[in-house]
Amino acid sequence: MKKYVLKLRVLMPLIFLLTIGCTDLEVDETDSVVVNTTGGNATTNVADLLASAYTDLGAFTDQANIYSLFQHVSDEMIPPTRGTDWGDNGVWRTLHAHNWDATHQFVRDSWNQLNQRAFKAVRILASSPTPAQAAEARFLRAFYMWNIMDLYGKVPYREANEGVEVNPRVLTRQEALNFIIADLEAALAGLPATAPTNPNPKATKAAANALLARVYLNKAVYTQPLENAAGPYTFNNADMDKVISYADAIAADGYALEDEYFKPFTNTANTDVILTSPEGSPENRWRMTLHYNNNPDGWNGFATLSEFYAKFDNNDERKSAPSPRALGQTFHGIKKGFLVGSQLNDNGQPITNTRQGIPLSFSPDVALAGAKTDAGIRVIKYHPADAGKYIILRYADVYLMKAEALFRKGSTAEAKTLIDNLRALRGLGALPGALTLQNILDERGRELYWEGIRRVDQVRFGTFDDVWQEKASTDSRRVLFPIPQQAMDSNPNLTQNPGY
Amino acid sequence: MALSKDFTNTIRALGNLSAELEIIKGLTFKTVIGLDRSFSTRKSASSRDLRTNATFNKGRLYLNENQVDNRLWENYFTFKKTFGKVDVNALLGYSYQSFGNSFSNIEMTNFRTSNLDLMINNYASVDVRAGNSIVPTNSGDTKDELQSYYTRVQMGISDKYLFTATVRVDGSTRFGGNNKYGVFPAFAFKWRLIDEDFIPKNIFTDLNLRLGYGITGNQEIPYFLYLPRERYADWDINNEGNLAGGGLDRVTNENRNLKWESTAQFNAAVDFGFWNNRVTGSLDYYHKTTNDLLSLTVFAQPAPAGNAFVFRNIDADIINSGVELSLNVVAVDKADFRWNVGGNMAYNKNLVKRLDGSFDTGAINGQGLTGAFAQRIAAGQPLYAFFLRNFGGFDANGNSIYPEGDRQQFSGRSPLPKVTMGLSNDFRYKNFDMNIFFTGQFGQYIYSNTENAFFTAGALAGGRNVITKVVGNGEGLLNAPDVSTRFLQKGDFVRLQNVTLGYNMNLNNKIISSLRFYLNGQNLFVITKYDGQDPEVSVNKQINGIPSAGIDYTAYPRARTFTFGVNARF
């Protein structure tokens, strides 16, 4: 018995000693797969990743974020706070009034969305794509990086094999510009030259040419030091020649202006649409503006400014067009263009604004805060009855870029011919007198309103700091958005833009 | 008629086994094995007659199984010996803990019956041919492990000076690479002043001085985050009957440097007793510094697609310092009447130091409040500091005035109480006993998301009911209720937390040795100026994993509970 106890006395502590280090604390993973990152963030399924990089263009259909940074800050659109609606903690009002800061939600989320998308293209290019896939990925990378460069003035860049511990390096605006041009020129060689189709969901030579034209037209803006980002700008004739030749290359592929102004926004074939978002219907574009009591019912949000509306002649076909649906059919009540005054339903009867129990009538005047539910003129380009896919690039923009380039390099007569030809197509007479920059900016507004390019135009034409309805004269630093605070906190290589 | 049924069934087994052995005199070895296993199933059915988008004309059944398997194995030696005036008490040990969890979920829809029992007990009542009728929502299986080596040495000299030194080495599967283990030392010193000659015994019956310094670790983050992992996301049959989800998603991003968060604490205290211990208590000062904060942070852009967040140790200090006073007074001590008063009061100051950048949290929800938030964590501010517009009333049109601009700024207010207190009164009169316990918190503020979202003139204009203070407060129907100090209120309160009245029967019974009847009331009243339901509130309003505090959003008030009971001892 004593012996036994003695044995136990030795055995039990021995067990203790044996248990020391009984686990290596490595996880025996069974319900997920640990991703091997030694080869970077490369993928074995390039086709799927490329498809998803296109799908990501759906972000541009959102009424918030990227679209809002290009559109709400302009003289074409106002996001009125209507009682408890659309206050959203001031996120819309600060865009219109130009008093956003580095913690602005859309400034932050747009940065994240665009950079994530650019990185997806980086991953595709690091994953042994075919030459055709590489050309598409380069186009998409350039497109997403152009958005970042234009909005924020600098572009962070992460290689595919750089993990979370690496702080991405930061391209200056000039470096980013060169990077984007190089990508687009390389893409151009590998992209197909295709005739216009609708929808047009893949990158083509026309898409790369259109983006190159845009980049060169704005090159004077992008080469300006950030301290003087608002200009004045000096446009280079060689750059303008590039814009013209890219525009001509697109026309050579068969792209042309459409006689019927609203046709590119429909689901019918047309010669105008260069690139559409494959995913994401333009539904947000009518929901964000229509009233609750319209059919389809909207979110009763955005309106245009009466000053902008006043730029349209009554003969301008871009101002209004009837509904594609006959009386009594669904969506007959929604006209195209600007919706102003009394609103009728699909059967031609007055609509009741149920919140106030009065007939629904959109008034031209609208306040930024404290607006009534029916204040402000509403805008319909994509119509719920015949909407096509959401347009990312279209020829009318290219055409106007060419006219502007001609004007800026001194070929004013040629420029005026182009503008007058467009006006004739829209039911308007030739512009009286000599063509001016203001004429070109106004014509771009009338042709491209609410298409998400107005901020770029206003910066280039130097009107971004001006006074307009519900906006005071603002600081010239506003031509660039601040680097989001969250980005500043997460990447020490970033420096904040001047004045923020 | 019932339109839904929800059954949960849990089986749980708990077990503890220990053996102790004295190897030589003073040296013992002990081993402890613990098991805690449970298995639960849940079946939740909603009838096709229930008029919601998810259920109408199709019905829904959710099946859920959950298994928990927690284990513990602890082994330690203790050694006790007295060397002259020195008492030594030493401990050396090892412990292993594992926390296993697995689940599986199934979802069914398109039922051919509205009979809930049949739905639950006759699965074939689902119309499988209708398509998208049954999906495996998901299953999962995770296990976390903790392994610790520890030693503690206590040394008492002449019963007057007591030294304690502890070192723990804790390892966790939640951290990667070389950072699995953290070393956490602690030292304590206690001086029994009462045993010193220079302490007047006619005043003090007890007097100790305590000093301590120690570091503790925190590993409370989700499972296995340090390597990038992919997992198929849950399938779902959505309200329209379409399949959603199921994609291969990145669930974690890589951070091989993830390590233990640690808190260093210094404290100094005096324990005292006067007048034959009629008055006892302690006064404690502490200073805690938490660093290497485990937190979800953004992955610097450009980031991999999908989840762009990663857990990191944030290089910041969170400092909590304060004083705690506790007192216990025997006010009356007679043969048939005794009254004991116990109270404690604590003052705490919280401050974030040395933090680069800032984190927004405290999401404010409601119509027209998309993306709104009320709190910002930044250096120089207390945790969860309120970050709001400064509200200055309404203008002639009834719109909010913000004298310092339509922008959010630090309000100098915190949701963390500065002072907390508890007061307990115990009475015993003959066979009756009574306990009255108050708690209180002071100096904290509450943001009422409830009022921000629902109780504004704009909400009234939208045809919704509001509370009376909205009417006639000068707010116009078109005013936007932005996040501002308008919805911030003081949260000070005193609560009568507990009252118990008991009666002990005088018994002379061989079967029942004691019998006590009692009546207990919990949360009997709250004295506060806060006009929400309950000032002791904190609805989870985290943003991107950054926790929030002190925000009320349609929170349920605490229950008021009355209990009548009998304690009998046989």
CA dist A55 and B234 (Å) reads: 21
Provide the number of CB pairs (under 8 Å) joining chain A to chain B: 207
CB neighbours of B298 closer than 8 A, spacing ≥ 6? A112, A486, A487, A489, A490, B308, B309, B310, B544
B461: contact with A, CB 8 A cutoff: yes
Q: Is residue A492 part of a domain?
A: no
pLDDT grade for B459, boundaries at 50, 70 and 90: confident
Interacting residues of A11 by C-beta distance below 8 A, sequence separation 6+: none
- The DSSP 8-state label assigned to residue B549 in this structure reads -
Indicate whether A65 belongs to any domain.
yes
For A168, the closest of B171, B251, B302 (CB atoms) is: B302
Q: What is the pLDDT of residue A10?
A: 64
A111 CB within 8 Å of a chain B CB:
yes
A81 CA to chain B: closest CA distance, Å?
7
Our CA angle for B136, B137, B139, nearest 5°, is 85
The confidence score (pLDDT) of residue B480 equals 82
A286 and B CB contact within 8 Å = no
Distance from CA of B523 to the nearest CA of A (A): 36
CATH of the domain at A229: 1.25.40.390
Total structural domains within chain A: 1
pLDDT of residue A1: 46
pLDDT band per the 50, 70, 90 thresholds, residue B32: very high
Does the structure show a pLDDT above 90 at B566?
Answer: yes
| Interface residue A157 vs chain B (CB under 8 A) | yes
As a whole number of angstroms, the distance between CA A98 and CA A107 comes to 12
The alpha-carbon radius of gyration of chain A (Å, integer) is 27
Q: How far apart are CA A134 and CA A208, in angstroms?
A: 13
**Number of domains composing chain B:** 1
A32 contacts in chain B (CB < 8 Å): 224, 229-231, 251
- Report helix angle A205-217 to A395-408, nearest 10: 40
Using one digit for the tens of pLDDT, what is the confidence trace for A81-129?
988 789 888 889 999 999 898 889 999 999 999 999 999 999 999 989 9
Over residues B322-376, the pLDDT tens digits come to 999 999 999 999 989 999 999 999 999 999 998 877 888 999 998 888 889 999 9
Q: Looking at beta carbons, which residues of chain A come within 8 Å of B316?
A: none
Tokens 């699909």 belong to which residue?
A346
Chain A closest-CA separation from residue B251 CA (Å): 9
Backbone φ, ψ for residue B87 (5° rounding): -95, 130
Chain A hits for B256, CB-CB cut-off 8 Å, are 165
| Helices vs. strands in chain B: H and E counts, helices first | 3, 28
In whole angstroms, give the CA distance from residue A406 to residue A414.
7
Q: What residues in A contact B103, CB-CB < 8 Å?
A: none
Full domain range(s) for residue A65:
46-280+391-466
Whether residues A12 and B31 touch (CB distance < 8 A) is answered with yes
pLDDT (0 to 100) of residue B103: 97
Kindly list the residues from chain B whose CB atom is less than 8 angstroms away from the CB atom of residue A157.
302
**pLDDT above 60 for B386:** yes
pLDDT band at B203 (very low <50, low <70, confident <90, very high): confident
Query: Which one of A141, A147, A164, A486 would you mutate to disrupt binding with B, by most B Cβ within 10 Å of its Cβ?
Result: A164
- For residue B324, being part of any structural domain is answered with no
Q: Is residue A38 part of a domain?
A: no
Q: Strand B86-109 to strand B60-83: parallel, antiparallel, or no bridges (unpaired)?
A: antiparallel
Among B132-136, B249-253, B304-308, where is mean pLDDT lowest? Answer: B304-308
Distance between CA atoms of B196 and B190, rounded to whole angstroms? 13
- Return mean pLDDT, chain B: 92
Structural domain span for residue B512:
367-570
Q: Would the pLDDT of B307 be above 60?
A: no
Please give the C-alpha separations between residue B371 and each of A59, B367, B385, in angstroms, as whole numbers: 17, 11, 18
Q: Which of residues 69-108 of B touch A (CB under 8 A)?
A: 73, 75, 77, 94, 96
* Dist CA B426 CA A121 (whole Å): 72
The distance of B443 to chain A (nearest Cα, Å) reads 27
Q: Report the complex ipTM.
A: 0.80
Say if B80 falls within a structural domain.
no
Answer whether B114's CB lies under 8 Å from B48's CB. Answer: yes
Give kind and range of the element (H or E) at residue A10.
helix A2-19
Q: Is residue B448 part of a domain?
A: yes
Least CB–CB distance from A84: residue in B96, B302, B481: B481
Query: What's CA B371's distance to the chain center, in Å?
Result: 26
Contact across the interface for A156 and B301, Cβ inside 8 Å: yes
Place of tokens 């794509």: A129
Q: How far apart are CA A216 and CA B296, in angstroms?
A: 41
Q: Which residues contact B196 (CB under 8 A, 6 or more apart)?
A: B160
Closest CA to B253 of B273, B292, B224: B224
CA distance B355 to chain A (A): 10
User: Which of A29, A157, A489 lies at the smallest CB-CB distance from B224?
Assistant: A29
pLDDT at A88: 85
What's the pLDDT at A210?
98
B300 to chain A: which residues are within 8 Å by CB?
Answer: 156, 158, 164, 167-168, 487, 490-491
Contacts of residue B373 in chain A, CB cutoff 8 Å?
89
Residues in chain B: 570
Closest chain B residue to the Cα of A167, Cα to Cα: B300
B449 inside domain? yes
- B470 assigned to some structural domain: yes
pTM of the full structure: 0.79
Rounded distance, CA A105 to CA A485, Å? 10
Structure tokens at A171: 């391209």
B177 in reach of chain A (CB within 8 A): no
Enumerate helices (H) and strands (E) in chain A, giving the number of each.
17, 12
Is there a domain that residue A172 lies in? yes
pLDDT along chain A (500 residues), means of 10: 56 62 81 74 81 91 96 96 85 92 91 94 93 98 98 96 86 98 97 93 97 98 96 96 98 97 96 89 93 94 96 96 96 97 96 90 92 95 95 98 98 97 97 96 98 98 96 92 90 93
Are B110 and B126 within 8 A, CB to CB?
yes
Please compute the mean of the pLDDT values over residues B42-47 and round it to a whole number.
95
User: Is A110 a domain residue?
Assistant: yes
